Structure 1
């Protein structure tokens, strides 16, 4: 396979997966609103596009499987088949199976026997809906129509009834004039013919070769051919039209239905560049027109003007058609308006491009190195004290910051797509457990880094499944407790203090603190009679192997998972906590950084070492005069009448040397808790490129990463959540301040 075709196949895989996701969301929506015609159309379009794309690459196993599903969807769309829960569940299985087939295409693997057998089994179940009596009116009888020799197909089942101005041919007529870039775009005119053959028969074909230049000047990468063909098929116009989706933008395609009006053929003569008589003889040889019908078309066409009509602008051609009473004016106006809408849509789509995620990551890495190099240049400029150089490096730093913000924006995605995937999880798990559960989604427009989104999928899935299994009660239990029959699970996301907060809430039975404590004592996690706060009790749920479930299900209950959730969230420099009220419900709250690559930091110093605090988590900085310093043994300050626990970085990291006479306190906040960091120096804001710590240092507490300063030195990035947690939990502080402690 050529590199160009390989790229085209990768595009098919990516787009098919997106279409399957859209198809699944529309099916889940359709379960709530069975009469939503737009959802049905969206499902049909997704299946139709996947089938058409697969046909262009001769993926016959995908085409054959999708064709059966598309036929069922066509019946639903035409109201000949009603959407039922059973059919909705079957179509969701179709989505899953198509996903497996596309995965095989991506891996360049032919379907094995098991996969093929599964496709056949699902297709057989779909066929039962096609074999069922249809609610549509009886189809017209075309048995007396004289079909061309050699045609063994049945007449089309969805063609219009012949009118007085209709041709006698019961076949579709297709005209194609290939654009010059068709081959460069990875398309092949022969692949289109091959795809058409999967759901019909090409009865006759005439090649258009008049545009081929002499061999001395021919461009081997350009496409010059076209064709006129007659096509016998039972499928609908949308399916045939979809065969040309990938070439329509650069080519000219015309489709005339069986028993089509002569006006369509007259318009075809006007649109195509060939002479009317030459093109007409081709249509006669194809069997699309008889000699008499051609004569009628050419007679009327002759009154319309010379062959140059074919090159007239669309508005002028419309006026001619109206003048000859071939088409009414409202139809022409509607067609022109639709043409303008298509052009506007195409122009809008042209502004969007698909970028490989690896290339985007490389861009972010380069921007990070640019920030470090820019900081070094600024440092040298200040050391040399050359005014012009300082000014130029300041401008450069501002531009680098703008580039950084723009680059990071490219990686920001909305979390709504991740939330929407849980509709299927909730549906399937609720059906398996026999519960009635509604999923509410809020804050789907909240944006965060693509890397963060990819890594929270598994933790969120476990939390959701745990809430469905152990949190929300069965319907009879809920009714006995005075609750609504249907349980409610909520997913919410919002920004807070430079972080994103994701909440998973349920209105189930909540957690029993006494049972958690009992299990913790049995496992030796806490001592008998030890006093713990509610937050500490609920935190025991995240201990490895901890579970209060009395029964083990195939979903949860073995005590494996919540500790993994916490470990994965901590690896993302985030935190997880849990709130619960017995009998009312539980909320699991995840706090995550917006990005894992580059942040605005605040540079501080203690001894000879430098540290960085995320700027969003810094509330204020206070100079601590010598007279107001607390005793060395104290661990809190009086900050304007409020208790502020603090920690000295010198003590925390065992930094040698004497503290300076003037110390500073950096007040930080995370998850509503505040703490103070006593440091030696304040250096100010600093663009921080986050470098992960190696495995050797991954166990160090209160350190979340490292960065490189402009001087080339390494500065450690402080883990503010860990610091706040350590400071506030190390020595619980009474809210009553000693009278001897002066306010700062």
Structure 2
């Protein structure tokens, strides 16, 4: 039976990285609550699982280093080692080094760099101060010297693998290879009594059993741990054959009389408290396969729309009914496929706990990170690409937003600064807020710097929001000193550009002495959206459906009035209008019948004047390419059922243009704000 060990090792790499991330989070939790036994248990389990899995693949560097870490964590569990800041800092560095060792495995052929080897040596030395006197092997030798017994023990291991061990991705021979690293194999007997007749043979089932004699200084617990990952798929009996009961090792040995008690069922109970329950309801899927699925579903949506269009032109009722059924099923498949790519943003948020901890210590500030809305879900592609902009914003807030403890006390604040990350859904988008309770932005300094650089004309009247948003201009900074952390404003143009590439927007609000809030608004998914089709002449445009509030037909009087004034009286509310025919320079006279699509994004509202309302449409977003990257007001394109191309409107960009225009030239003097809120 051939086992794909390469695939199994790739699974180990992925899971090891996840375990190290969980280990880091638990260490940070333990730092804030030193008595948290659950956190201590989680840290130990993570290290123990990584060591055991690495041993199955013969990854000795990982096993060797992690074993020492595990030994210290074991002493932490039994109370022999106390939690303090230096221990947490060292264990965090150990986690970093374990990740480095895993990365070496992932990039085959590579070895640790000399500086990494030096770091490992220093960590081993630091870990040794927390270990009991002597290494485990030395402790066995010490016990043997005191009692006059041999330094090793002959163990007999009776092993029966379950039928599903192959299907669960395990190789029985890998366990034997790992046992060889713990001692000397004296004898191995392969048991074939469970092999069925040829006609009943299942090539995917395992029928093997082994009787093994192993001479080793390892304890019974260590040997037992070898089989933790197939505990539910095998029965194992481990008996010490030639030890002396009073050798001092009796607490780690098993007498022949106890052999019958050591079965898989009896061992599952203590193992349950040491390992997380296995959930068979989840399947790990390669992200590329999900992307391929989304692309195929997108093409299916386009093909389904084309089929529905043809069916309507045939005037064939049964055919139309059939295509309608297919369209409904395609919509369900689409929703299901998109849901597969939705992941909670909390995993990304939690990674910043370590960043905040390390940077606050580097700056000599006491800063607490507060996370809320971690369960909010959005597309995995968005989650992956939002990490760097969030990192930059957090670093800026800590470096130049939150004051030192002395400055905070002088301002009547608590010495501890607070930095919060929050996420929530709003109007079909996800909003991420990064808020600090620092000194806030200096409005006058930003304005002076902008005028100095020629970004703002002297004497121009700008709102606070417009002034604060000037820090997103390329290279804009008001920082008085350059540190190893970027000053507030440095690189903010990169942050805005990266968010814009995700079809998102970013703005901020600040209050002097109270703090700053940066607000990022992103689409839930980058692949497929529900759209509303509108027509102008022979051209078709798509408006994201979640931004459409209502549609209004204009009569002749309203058309003339709105054209003259540039706004519409919507039930007593001033609604600014954008005539898409003029905006996109369509030639020819306007249609005799015109409509207004009322759209809203965040707190801004406007009306888009169009010729035709064509109804809802599932929109597969296609990028425009670099040639059209400078187009304003267009975020992408899609293919209609007829094969024609429709442009997707960038509503946030259009509304932003209106906001900027109306802030400078009010539509109606002494009237309510032109942009409805």
- The answer to whether TM tops 0.5 is yes
SS of the equivalent of 2:521 reads: strand
Partner of 1:179: 162
Post-superposition offset of 1:182: 4.1
Q: Which residue of 2 aligns with 1:124?
A: 125
Which ranges in structure 1 are unaligned for 5 or more consecutive residues?
Answer: 154-169, 273-313, 315-331
Who is 1:227 aligned against?
211
> Relative to 1, partners in 2 of residues 1:655 and 1:416: Cα closer, same or farther, differing over 3 Å?
same
Indicate the residue corresponding to 1:209 in structure 2: 191
Give the conservation status (yes or no) of the 8 Å contact 1:638–1:737: no
Matches within 5 A, 1:73-152: 73-114=73-114, 115-130=116-131, 143=145, 145=147, 147=149, 151-152=150-151
Q: Deviations over 1:573-599 (max 9, x none)?
A: 110000000100000000000000111
Which residue of 1 is the match for residue 533 of structure 2? 603
Matches within 5 A, 1:666-685: 666-685=597-616
Q: What is the deviation of 1:252? A: 1.6
CA distance in 1, matches of 2:122, 2:224: 29
Map 1:216-615; keep pairs closer than 5 Å. 222=206, 224-230=208-214, 232-233=216-217, 237=221, 239-255=222-238, 258-267=252-261, 345-346=277-278, 349-557=279-487, 559-615=489-545
**What is the CA deviation profile of residues 540-573 of structure 1, one whole-angstrom value per residue up to 9, with x for unaligned ones?**
0100000111000001128532100100111111
Cα drift, residue 120 of structure 1: 2.1
CA distance in 2, matches of 1:342, 1:224: 28
Distance of 2:668 and 2:156 partners within structure 1 = 85
* Alignment match of 2:574 (pick from 619, 625, 643): 643
| Contact 1:645-1:728 within 8 A present in 2 as well | no
8 A contact 1:606–1:680 mirrored in 2: yes
SS of alignment partner, residue 563 of structure 2 = coil
2:549 pairs, out of 619, 624, 634, with 619
> Displacement, 1:736?
6.3
Measured in 2, the distance between the counterparts of 1:537 and 1:15 equals 47
Structure 1 residue 338, shift from structure 2 partner: 8.2
Distance 1:6 1:499, change over 3 A: same
Query: Residue in 1 aligned with 2:242?
Result: none
Distance (whole Å) between structure 2 residues aligned to residue 518 and residue 181 of structure 1: 72
Displacement after TM superposition at 1:230 (Å): 4.8
Q: Matched residues in 2 for 1:396 and 1:85: separation?
A: 61
**How many residues are paired up?**
651
| Shift in Å, 1:126 | 1.1
1:244: how far off? 1.2
In the TM superposition, residue 131 of structure 1 has moved relative to its aligned partner by 5.6
> 1:511 touches 1:582 (CA, 8 Å); kept in 2?
yes
- 1:660 and 2:591 are equivalent in the alignment: yes
Hey, what's the Cα distance between the residues in 1 that align with 2:64 and 2:34? Answer: 27
- Say yes or no: does 1:46 pair with 2:46: yes
Partner of 2:248: none
Tell me how far 1:107 sits from its aligned partner.
1.1
Q: Against the structure 1 CA distance between its residues 608 and 471, is the aligned structure 2 distance closer, same or farther, given a 3 Å change threshold?
A: same
Partner of 2:63: 63
Structure 2 residue aligned with 1:707? 638
The residue that corresponds to 2:621 in the other structure is 690
The CA deviation string for residues 309-338 of structure 1, in whole angstroms up to 9 with x for no partner, is xxxxx8xxxxxxxxxxxxxxxxx8xx8988
Task: Measure how far apart 1:524 and its partner are.
Answer: 0.9
**Shift of residue 246, structure 1, vs aligned partner:** 3.0
Q: Do the aligned partners of 2:302 and 2:620 also contact (CA within 8 Å) in 1? A: yes
Mark the CA change 1:405 to 1:342 in structure 2 (over 3 Å): closer, same or farther.
farther
Secondary structure of residue in 2 paired with 1:248: helix
Q: Secondary structure at the match of 1:260?
A: coil
Paired residue for 1:37?
37
1:629-681 Cα offsets, whole Å, 9 max, x none, are 22534321111111111111110100011111111000000111001100000
Deviates more, 1:406-415 or 1:725-734: 725-734
Structure with larger Rg: 1
Provide the secondary structure at the position in 1 that maps to 2:82.
Answer: coil
Is this contact kept in 1: 2:472–2:489, CA < 8 A? no
CA pair 141-358 structure 1, distance change in 2 beyond 3 A: closer
Q: Does the CA-based 8 Å contact 2:435-2:518 persist in structure 1? A: yes
Q: For the Cα contact (< 8 Å) 1:610–1:716, is it kept in 2?
A: yes
Where do 5+ consecutive residues of structure 2 fail to align?
A: 240-250
Displacement of 1:215 in angstroms is 12
Output the CA distance in 2 between the equivalents of 1:420 and 1:342: 24
**SS in structure 1 opposite 2:412?**
coil
Structure 1 length-normalised TM: 0.82
The alpha-carbon distance between structure 1 residues 737 and 689, as it changes in their structure 2 partners (threshold 3 A), is farther
What CA distance in whole angstroms lies between the structure 1 residues aligned with 2:276 and 2:365?
47
Per mean C-alpha deviation after superposition, the further-off stretch among 95-104 and 410-419 is 95-104
1:317 counterpart residue number: none
SS class of match (1:123): helix
Q: Deviations over 1:452-472 (max 9, x none)?
A: 000000000000000000000
Answer yes or no: is the 8 Å Cα contact 2:157–2:238 preserved in 1: yes
Report the CA distance between 1:373 and its aligned residue.
Answer: 0.4
Matches of 1:620 and 1:527 in 2, distance apart? Answer: 39
* Contact 1:182 1:223 survives alignment (8 Å): no
Q: Structure 1 residue 236: deviation in Å?
A: 7.0
Contact 2:635 2:649 in 1 (8 A): yes
Distance 2:297 2:33 in 1: 47
Q: TM-score, normalization: structure 2?
A: 0.90
For the residues of structure 2 that align with 1:447 and 1:184, how far apart are their CA atoms? 32
